[in-house]
Chain A
Amino acid sequence: MEVELCPILRSFGSEQNVLSRPDGSASFVQGDTSVLAGVYGPAEVKVSKEIYDRATLEVVIQPKVGLPSVRERAREQCIRETCEAALLSTLHPRSSLTLILQVVHDDGSLLACYLNAACMALIDAGLPMSSLFCGITCAINTEGQIITDPSVQQEKESRALLTFAIDSVERKVMMSSTKGSFSVKELQQCIAVSQKASEEIFQFYRDSVKRRYSKIM
């Protein structure tokens, strides 16, 4: 059985160095979803959080209304583990890295947008990384159609929602977060779709960095 694909990425954009105080900052917009990220570090670390052979990474997600809840904590962990895998934190032992993510507008694929904004901010901060990463969300609707980068409406209508973090070197899956039920075949298809779509985003990363330093080179 051939599954129908609806592989469209909404228009996306990013601006780096948007804030003056953080060492690195970026805003990432996917359709109407918008996230602002700020990075501080490497800086001095609290003794209680110090790790002797690598940097301590702290990820904070600020919701727009109210205080952070369990959902935010869970996502913080997903993002922290992805960033830890990509960052060469051993180059900055006994120091702290802080990544703060502020949701500006949520219109679906929020976790993916967090990851993309985080990566752009880390690039802006100039932190050493073994690879870049990006986030892709796939939704499987009731007809079995796979939709990439869904909006809130499409997320609500879907029966399963899968978000992957993909690395730029081997296009491997660094993190996955799923909701709902799906078959093994659908999972493999979603991964394959995400790997394809990630190329689009990595090309965008490359273009934006190229544009940024175009006047220097």
Chain B
Amino acid sequence: MKDTPLSNCERQFLLKAVEEKKRVDGRQTYDYRNIKITFGTEYGCCIVDLGKTRILAQVSCELVPPKDSRPTEGILFFNLELSPMASPAFELGRQSELLVKLNRQLERCLRNSKCIDTESLCVISGEKVWQIRVDVHVLNHDGNLMDAASIAAIAALSHFRRPEVAIQGRDITVFTPEERDPIPLSIYHMPICVSFAFFQQGTYLLVDPCEREERVMDGLLVIAMNKHREICSIQSSGGIMLLKEQVLRCSKIASVKVSEITELINKALDNDKRARKEGGKFGFAESMPKERITALKKDEAPVEMTDVQDTANEIISRTEAQPDIVKVPSPVVPAPGTGQVGEGLLNTWGLEEEEDEEEEQHEKEEMSTGEVMVLSDSEEDDVVILNPDANKPKRLEGGSKKGVEAPKKQKTSH
């Protein structure tokens, strides 16, 4: 399905609004949309809402042999997916340019910044390490996927707990969460991406562009930074030339935004931890808004089942009135592991075979009496003569063949 195109007047309206320092959703130039972080009942599952953009991240782990070049390091694997749910333009299983770009940027932001201690993921050097897999699903695309994806991924990684292992010689025991408490990953810092959209060759700048603004922007600058104001990656795309001052100004804005977001993530993590510790209710089911008019919830309730037995019995009795199916003889088991059906019956297979042979013989006779087809046992008969006029040269060929094949026959006779 194609995406809805943006009309010229919409485009002009948006650009004019940017010039007047106004935004379609009423935000200021440097404002982020509302960020909501919710965690699931499982460890390492998180949904991030950035305005209307919604992203689901799930972290999972697996014991794998390490890479040959790095035998003592665990593996981090990122997989961002643009679900067709997010936008009609996203097709299933297509490697679009946007997808590749986002995946690469996420890797640069989280793997190459070395924010996770991969050495602590080593179980036996050179043999078994943990592979941490981060699946990021885009559920709704309303612009600025990169920021939302980075927040979702790092929040899910901080929330994740891997099972504890015990090593005895070469044996690895993996404990279930019931046996031993799972342990969190060691995270050094939390890099978070902040996107800046540029308009009119860099004259105007907007933080956290929505989908409409992304469509009319000239260029995009993505800065990944942690709360210690360390830049983890910078990427400029769209082919705009930026001045040094502009980049510095962006990095200053980014540092403010990153500290705000980091605080929000930590608060969400603390809330979830507290809810789990107190044994209270947590997870997505609890975070569903109850006051919204579009939402409704119904509490656990037993279902009235007074006449279920009767209806079932009635249906069965009605069907049982019909005559039973002819009983299949139960198999005879002479010894364990063997089975036999129908003991003491006459084997009819031999008789049928005889009949078959007779039929075959009849067929052969019929065929041999035919004038067109000539069957004989000699090997040279695969030369079929189609045109009787061209007989002579073909026969010559046949003769030469005979000469070649004669010694072969002798060999076989030995």
Contact = CB atoms under 8 A, between A and B. Distances in A.
10 contacts: A15-B288, A16-B294, A38-B139, A43-B1, A105-B41, A105-B45, A196-B304, A200-B301, A200-B303, A207-B296
A91 interface: no
Contacts, number: 164
A31 interface: yes
B137 A2 contact: no
A48 interface: no
A7 interface: yes
A62 interface: yes
Interface string B40-72: 111001010000101010101000000000000
Interface residues of B, number: 54
Nearest to A20: B52
B140 interface: yes
Contacts of A207: 296, 298
Chain A interface size band reads 35 or more
A185 B41 CA distance: 37
A8 B303 contact: yes
Contacts of A7: 302-303, 305, 308
B92 interface: yes
B315 interface: yes
Contact of B284 (A34, A44, A193): A34
B233 interface: no
Given A8-B302, A13-B297, A29-B288, 10 more contacts: A5-B308, A20-B140, A21-B85, A44-B1, A62-B83, A65-B58, A66-B135, A104-B47, A191-B312, A215-B293
A64 interface: yes
Interface stretch (A78-86, A94-102, A127-135, A154-162): A94-102
Interface in B299-319: 299-305, 308-309, 311-313, 315-316, 319
B292 interface: yes
Interface in A61-113: 62, 64-66, 96, 98, 100, 102, 104-105, 107
A209 B302 CA distance: 23
Interface in B1-58: 1-2, 40-42, 45, 47, 52, 54, 56, 58
A105 B1 contact: no
B202 interface: no
Nearest to B42: A105
Given A3-B309, A14-B296, A193-B305, A40 B92 contact: no
Nearest to A29: B285
B86 interface: yes
Contacts of A98: 1, 84
B399 interface: no
B301 A9 contact: yes
B131 to A, nearest CB: 12
B135 A64 contact: yes
A192 B308 contact: yes
The 10 closest A-B pairs by CB, nearest first: A13-B297, A15-B295, A38-B85, A208-B296, A100-B85, A189-B312, A188-B312, A7-B303, A19-B140, A20-B52
Contact of A211 (B54, B288, B293, B299): B293
A32 B137 contact: no
Nearest to A186: B312
A19 B285 contact: no
Nearest to A26: B294
A10 B41 contact: no
Contact of B296 (A17, A19, A211, A215): A211
A36 interface: yes
A22 interface: yes
A172 interface: no
B290 to A, nearest CB: 8
Contact of B84 (A19, A60, A104, A184): A60
B163 interface: no
A162 to B, nearest CB: 13
A44 to B, nearest CB: 7
A163 interface: no
A17 B294 contact: yes
A148 interface: yes
A105 to B, nearest CB: 5
A102 B295 contact: no
A214 interface: yes
